[in-house]
Structure 1
Amino acid sequence: MLQKRTEDYPPENNRFRFLNKETEAFQVKELPDVPFDIGEMYSGLMPIDEKDPSRALFFVFQPTVGPPTDEIVIWLNGGPGCSSLEGFFQENGRFIWGPGMYSVELNPYSWVNLSNVLWVEQPVGTGFSIGKVTATSEEDVAQDFVKFFKNFQTTFGIKNFKIFVTGESYAGRYVPYISAAMLDEKNKEFYDLSGALTYDPCIGSCDYVQGEVPTLPFVQQNKNVFGLNDTFMAQIEELDKKCGYAEYRDKWMHFPPAGQQPPTFFNYSSDADLACDIFDIVINAGYAVNPCSNVYEITTMCPIPADVLGFPTDIAYSYRGQPIYFNRTDVKKAMHAPLDINWAECSGPVFIGDGGPMQEGDLSLDPIQHVLPQVIEATNRVLVANGDLDMIVLTNGTLLSIQNMTWNGKMGFQTQPSKPIIITLPDLQYGQAFIDNGIGGLDNPMGTMGVQHYERGLMWAQTALSGHMEPQYQPRSSYRHLQWLLGHIQTL
């Protein structure tokens, strides 16, 4: 439900459901170079603690363009330190301006078609968010977020909304910890967590189990893409055995699992571990064959398309020689962003200290050890997915991590995922603007687009032909994932 809006501040032509005296300062009326009516949209800095405006998270909020709904989907990018404005502008927002695109376009697979969506730049140290970095753990990050989110809801007059926390990559850590913190609040009025979704997530041993162990089979399966010669392949096959990765897979990649996997950690300051760094050995060799090789999507070839967000570097890949979009003064003003911040897609640090996962100072346990099972058991509506063309987080590594997790009374999946995801009919709940643009006629069947498997509250989705950023690389599959999360469909 919504708190009652004051009589003297009605929504404009009944279009703007969340517009009130408190939210007017966040309203975005237009975006430079976006030639569409952007509808109802808000962005700006929201304090973590309303008594201390010096620490605040930057957000973008787009209410659904479909039928009004009392639910909200939160989207978080990873990094750590990578901006959720990437998700907003190049993945699942209402309009997209992706790499290689000359101008912005309406996104037919926008998540805004299905629900209200909130993109948040977090933790502090990310994007436009401001304040002193204080986090040493995911618990710290989660506490900052739940405080911010309550302030956001209070400002926008939101109560008793169903909440779905989603994200990708390093947000595989953010999503479960934030979700668990909401559950711990035991307050359905502001924290009615109803499900979670995470793409290509860091949920286990990110470097060892999700990186080094599955590298060789991944390269073998994609040999024609990598183009590595037989001599090199023989060398890494021998290294795979010598370093124990082959034995690890043979022992632990089973359905049901063979037992609890041993603790693992890859030490980048250890000469012995570096000698077994097959992941980086393959990447470096790949650059010799394809200088535009991309671990986020391995089929990327030269030339690298210009990117309006300047990833991976604003010098080499700027868009037509123009400033990065979110660094433009006119864009900052339109979005109520700090003018003095030099925005970058990935920044930081966002943790203090060092020695945690990925050497980023994050000292928390892997999500599979406690918080992810907690979220599954509380909601029975969690989706974990991995793209088959992603090398930064490998599909079999994510599956291995799931096989090392206990939830709802059992460890891992009891049977091997095998049910195909077949997309045969249009999935979109078409809005009138979508129909008017004539895009519906192009929305043809795709066929088999991956593998799905559901057990005890957890849905697994292996996404065919997708790189790391699944809403960007396979938006139609991602759209269906969200439909499942929201309870609109029961299978993928």
Structure 2
Amino acid sequence: MPEVHFDVGELYSGLVPIDKDNQSRALFFIFQPTTGEPVDEITIWLNGGPGCSSLEGFIQENGRFIWQPGTFAPVENPYAWTNLTNMLWVDQPVGTGFSIGTPTAVSQEETAAEFVKFFKNFQEIFGIKNFKIYVTGESYAGRYVPYISAAMLDQQDKEYYDLNGALVYDPCIAQYDFTQQQVPVFPFLQENANMFNFNKSYMAELEELHKACGYEDYIDKYLNFPPPGIQPPKMFNYTTDAKCDLFSMISNEAFNVNPCFDVYEVNLMCPLLWDITAFPTALVYQPEGATVYFDRKDVKRALHAPEHVTWSECSNEPVFVGGKAGPEQEGDISANPIEHVLPQVIEGTNRVLVSNGDYDMIIMTNGTLLAIQNMTWNGELGFQSQPQTPINIEMPDLMYKDVFKQNGEAGADGPQGIMGIQHYERGLMWAQTYQSGHMQPQYQPRVTYRHLEWLLRRVDSL
């Protein structure tokens, strides 16, 4: 791999067709067998968007090496998920990253059906059968992961689709714009007020809208344990409800205070750091002579990627017919995962983890909890008890231990301590992550490493 000046180990990549007799529609993958003890299992990672490449996860979150924004070169990742399991990163659906073909899908059911076909073809190429399967991802993959997992369960084929669990970070699982954005955004602002530095009069204006638009009453009623009942169907209309668009008001004003504001991690400040994936697109800073790593010809050759494809972190064209590029769900007509497919996956595996990072504003912690409290699984609605058990991360900081030693900071690479809240009921594990933005394996790799250990049944709690 260009710029990677150490042995990354055994690694494969390329295109695998969805249908064997049609090479014009294929998904791009990177597959790396575990560098630890051999295991008969495979963990799939999917980024979201819709239309965002899973190569972001590979190079900045949980891969064998990582190249973080603002750094000179890639480094080995001591928290690589390949330490524990065989890893498969996939650009899907068609139209994402290096995958080829024309998007035809309008629903998650269709993209999941295509993924199931691709995955069987992949397994046959690599001689994999009877592997335990874990499907993981973040953001809009909060929709991909449950639908793909449910499609695997529907196959009733343990030889090729032995699904054993699923994990989603900061996921779109409910009515995204209302439940996971508008309702929780003012309390989020209050909790992180020192990072926004809004004046008192503007804070008072926002608080009044939070009450007048019914968001305060909604949280007071439904964010309870156990929940009082099923939440009414709500959808935010950006035309008729424009006066109640607190999310846009807060995010727009945040740029006036902090020109480098990042809705994915609100504690980030200036200066802008060059990101080798050129993400997020709204804040791209490309210094003279810099290139997008995966769009380099030498990188494409090394990865057996299609050289005619211009790689971008997120597709400039919709990956669902009739939709838009980006997080809007237009074109994706499927029901929200909490309505049926996520409960199906929980009940089919009793090993599902849903997690949210507290510095993420695009999908907020309380919004995800509200979604869970509106979901029925294994016979009951929501969590019956309030999450409160701490997550104590005892592993040392393997990433920067040498830096600490060089600077004479003895003990600075010790355990991380209390880094979140965990709660398990009826097959579902909830994990709130402190001090993390949207891309949790990037921002809090020690914590997410523990999440993976739980998913793979290496530990019983977080």
Does 1:351 find its partner at 2:338?
Answer: no
Does 1:33 find its partner at 2:26?
Answer: no
Partner amino acid, structure 1, of 2:169: Y
Distance 1:74 1:483 in 2: 15
SS of alignment partner, residue 72 of structure 1: strand
SS of alignment partner, residue 207 of structure 1: helix
Q: Which residue is equivalent to 2:243?
A: 275
Distance 2:2 2:216 in 1: 52
Q: Which residue is equivalent to 1:287?
A: 255
Q: Which residue is equivalent to 1:339?
A: 307
Structure 1: runs of 5 or more not aligned: 1-30
Q: How far does residue 478 in structure 1 lie from its aligned partner after superposition?
A: 0.4
Distance 2:397 2:108 in 1: 35
Q: How far does residue 354 in structure 1 lie from its aligned partner after superposition?
A: 4.1
Distance 1:159 1:122 in 2: 22
Instruction: Pick one of 273, 279, 283 that aligns with 1:311.
Output: 279
Cα-to-partner distance string for 1:223-262 (whole Å, 9 max, x where unaligned): 0011111010000101111111111111111100000001
Instruction: Pick one of 152, 161, 178 that aligns with 1:208.
Output: 178
Partner amino acid, structure 1, of 2:354: V
Q: How many residues align?
A: 454
Alpha-carbon contact 2:397-2:414 (below 8 Å) kept: no
Alpha-carbon contact 2:397-2:415 (below 8 Å) kept: no
Q: Which residue is equivalent to 2:297?
A: 329
Does 1:167 find its partner at 2:137?
Answer: yes
Distance 2:287 2:76 in 1: 19
Partner amino acid, structure 2, of 1:263: P
Q: Which residue is equivalent to 1:183?
A: 153
Distance 1:391 1:148 in 2: 34
Q: How far does residue 313 in structure 1 lie from its aligned partner after superposition?
A: 3.7
Alpha-carbon contact 1:295-1:390 (below 8 Å) kept: yes
Alpha-carbon contact 2:395-2:446 (below 8 Å) kept: no
SS of alignment partner, residue 358 of structure 1: coil
- Mapping 1:368-383, distance limit 5 Å: 368-383=338-353
Distance 1:474 1:198 in 2: 15
Give TM-score scaled by structure 1 length: 0.89
Give TM-score scaled by structure 2 length: 0.95
Q: How far does residue 315 in structure 1 lie from its aligned partner after superposition?
A: 9.2
Query: Identity over the aligned pairs, expressed in percent?
Result: 64
Distance 2:281 2:204 in 1: 34
Does 1:60 find its partner at 2:30?
Answer: yes
Does 1:413 find its partner at 2:383?
Answer: yes
Cα-to-partner distance string for 1:80-123 (whole Å, 9 max, x where unaligned): 00000000000000000010111000000000000000000000
Cα-to-partner distance string for 1:461-490 (whole Å, 9 max, x where unaligned): 000000000000000000000000000001
Cα-to-partner distance string for 1:420-471 (whole Å, 9 max, x where unaligned): 001124498x9xxx99xx9999742111100000000000000000000000
Distance 1:183 1:359 in 2: 25
Q: How far does residue 151 in structure 1 lie from its aligned partner after superposition?
A: 0.3
- Mapping 1:62-461, distance limit 5 Å: 62-268=32-238, 270=239, 272-313=240-281, 316-318=284-286, 321-347=289-315, 348-354=317-323, 358-426=328-396, 443-461=413-431
Q: How far does residue 171 in structure 1 lie from its aligned partner after superposition?
A: 0.2
Alpha-carbon contact 1:309-1:326 (below 8 Å) kept: yes
SS of alignment partner, residue 292 of structure 1: coil
Cα-to-partner distance string for 1:197-223 (whole Å, 9 max, x where unaligned): 000000011110000000010000110
Distance 1:100 1:354 in 2: 33
Distance 1:285 1:307 in 2: 24
Q: From the superposition, tell whether residues 205 and 125 of structure 1 become closer, same or farther in structure 2 (CA, over 3 Å).
A: same
SS of alignment partner, residue 328 of structure 2: helix
SS of alignment partner, residue 176 of structure 2: coil
Cα-to-partner distance string for 1:8-48 (whole Å, 9 max, x where unaligned): xxxxxxxxxxxxxxxxxxxxxxx001001121000011100
What is the aligned-residue RMSD (CA, Å)?
A: 2.0
Alpha-carbon contact 1:307-1:319 (below 8 Å) kept: no
Q: How far does residue 353 in structure 1 lie from its aligned partner after superposition?
A: 2.0
Alpha-carbon contact 2:50-2:327 (below 8 Å) kept: no
Alpha-carbon contact 1:206-1:357 (below 8 Å) kept: no
Alpha-carbon contact 2:397-2:416 (below 8 Å) kept: no
Partner amino acid, structure 2, of 1:280: S
Structure 2: runs of 5 or more not aligned: none
SS of alignment partner, residue 305 of structure 1: coil
Q: Which residue is equivalent to 1:20?
A: none
Alpha-carbon contact 1:64-1:113 (below 8 Å) kept: yes
Q: How far does residue 266 in structure 1 lie from its aligned partner after superposition?
A: 1.3
Distance 1:214 1:237 in 2: 12
Distance 1:304 1:375 in 2: 40
Q: How far does residue 193 in structure 1 lie from its aligned partner after superposition?
A: 0.1
Runs of 4+ in 1 over 3 A off after TM superposition: 313-316, 354-357, 425-428, 438-443
